Amino acid sequence: MERVIYFNGTLLPEGQVRISPFDHGFLYGDGIFEGIRAYNGRIFELEAHLERLFDSAKSLLLDIPTGREGIADAILATVRANQLHNAYIRLVVSRGPGDLGLDPFKCPDPTILIIADQIQLFPEELYETGLPLASAALRRPSGDVLNPQIKSLNYLNSVLAKIEAHQRGVPEMVLLNQLGHVVEGTGDNIFIVRQGTLITPPRSAGILPGITRRVVMELAGEAGYTVQEENFTLHELYNADECFLTGTAAELIPAISCDGRVIGSGRPGPVARALRTRFVQYSASHGTDVYPGVSVV
């Protein structure tokens, strides 16, 4: 079935969507995006995603004319138009068409695009057996070069790391900052577990503070685990009791090795398994209704 796409205020079959070749999102990566999930007929953490989107837009002086409520309505309409209850939603706001120069102020009308479809970042069996990881040769740019809290269309650093993952035969990479501290994966946050305590890199390490990361931290606290935000190196990762990644697309997935070093028992650990169960239960029952008044089982 051909997907229906929201494009600048109109729902169109995907084959009818036409983005200008002069769009600065295409020419220069000048734009922002959000990846959002729908579970069981509910948009998960919609307000948090919208807050991050508009914060990113403010930093880029990118005006979103529809406003927050208009974007929320457009997301719901796109999911309904595709008759989806479980979906991955990609919301993109680019600077819009201009000329061949860099000047963003020559782009008067941003492009707004919303896709509702499915995604599978990692094979399903790896959620049961765990991911092998490797550390990337390429470092994450520091925050004074490219602010990681702006969820921009510039993902070249992650793309290059993903290329390295394919070359090294692993599904995901661990990126480090210029100080050698672990930052995150190509599109997911990272946790290690030491003696029952969860440790995840702080914002100052150069991470995107993920929404799934925050929800998992809250669920962990409710379950009685101690959660700490602090820097750690590959040495601490290699010698952790457990490791797992979180993200909107990845959800929560255990990791069992890095650079050929077995992490913990070499199998998904009890903390990751318990938190994944809690996250699945929580995400299935919380969110903004896509189909109000319709019973969701």
pLDDT for res 144:
87
For the chain, give every domain's residue range: 4-117, 126-283
- Residue range 265-284: mean pLDDT, rounded: 97
In CATH, the architecture of 126-283 is: Alpha-Beta Barrel (3.20)
Backbone angles phi, psi at 245, to 5 degrees: -115, 150
- Residue range 163-172: mean pLDDT, rounded: 97
Is the pLDDT assigned to residue 296 strictly greater than 70? no
pLDDT for res 294:
64
Inter-residue contact 164 to 219 (CB < 8 Å): no
Report the Cα–Cα distance between both ends of the chain, in Å, rounded.
25
Q: How confident is the model at residue 162 (pLDDT cuts 50, 70, 90)?
A: very high
Q: How far apart (Å, rounded) are the C-alpha atoms in residues 161 and 164?
A: 5
Q: How do residues 224-265 score in pLDDT, each as one tens digit?
A: 999 999 999 999 999 999 999 999 999 999 999 999 999 999
| Sign of the four-CA dihedral 138, 143, 146, 151 | positive
pLDDT for res 295:
56
CA distances to 131, 177, 195 from 164, rounded to whole Å, are 16, 17, 32
Instruction: Pick one of 3.30.2010.30, 3.90.1170.50, 3.30.470.10, 3.40.50.970 as the CATH number of 4-117.
Output: 3.30.470.10
Is the pLDDT assigned to residue 143 strictly greater than 90? no
Q: How many CB atoms lie within 10 A of CB 181?
A: 19
Overall pTM surpassing 0.85 (yes/no): yes
Backbone angles phi, psi at 77, to 5 degrees: -65, -35
Inter-residue contact 206 to 148 (CB < 8 Å): yes
